[in-house]
């Protein structure tokens, strides 16, 4: 496998209990523009080069709490790299808009890799 491109953080994922209330805070109080919204399940606001992703409970693949998300060209390649590093790696989850792979780092922090589906 070729040396992979360096990873860049795309999103910080925050779990929310009320998406509308959270969007009100981030948009109206903080003044961040809406990037994307999918009903009451998921939305992003734009904070410079990084998005803050607001995710309702049903949108999380594994762990609770915040997560760092990396947009990658191929979740399958990331999965192969993780398997080569040892340990068990969960299966790729298929969402409505993307393929995702959620793991935890050695300190149990959530790390998400996602590959957008073609539109």
Ordered structural domains, the chain, with CATH: 9-116 (3.10.180.10)
54 or 96: which carries more pLDDT confidence? 54
Nearby residues of 50 by Cβ (< 8 Å), 6 or more positions away: 9, 10, 11, 12
CB atoms within 10 A of CB 73: 11
Distance CA 62, CA 60 (A): 6
Summarised one tens digit per residue, pLDDT across range 31-87 is 999 999 999 999 999 999 999 999 887 776 545 688 899 999 999 999 998 998 887
The alpha-helical segments, DSSP class H, found in 2-117 are: 19-23, 75-84
Q: In DSSP terms, which residues pair with 34 in a beta bridge?
A: 45
């Amino acid at each position: 496998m070729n040396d992979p491109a360096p990873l860049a953080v795309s999103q910080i994922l925050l779990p929310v209990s009320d998406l509308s209330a959270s969007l009100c805070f981030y948009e109206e109080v903080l003044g961040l523009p809406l990037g994307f919204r999918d009903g009451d399940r998921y939305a992003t606001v734009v904070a410079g080069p990084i998005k803050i992703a607001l995710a309702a409970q049903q949108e999380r693949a594994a762990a609770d709490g915040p997560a760092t998300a990396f947009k990658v060209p191929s979740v399958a390649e990331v999965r192969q790299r993780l398997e080569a590093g040892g340990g068990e790696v969960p299966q790729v989850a298929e969402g409505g808009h993307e393929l995702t792979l959620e793991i935890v780092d050695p300190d149990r922090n959530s790390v998400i890799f996602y590959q957008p589906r073609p539109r």
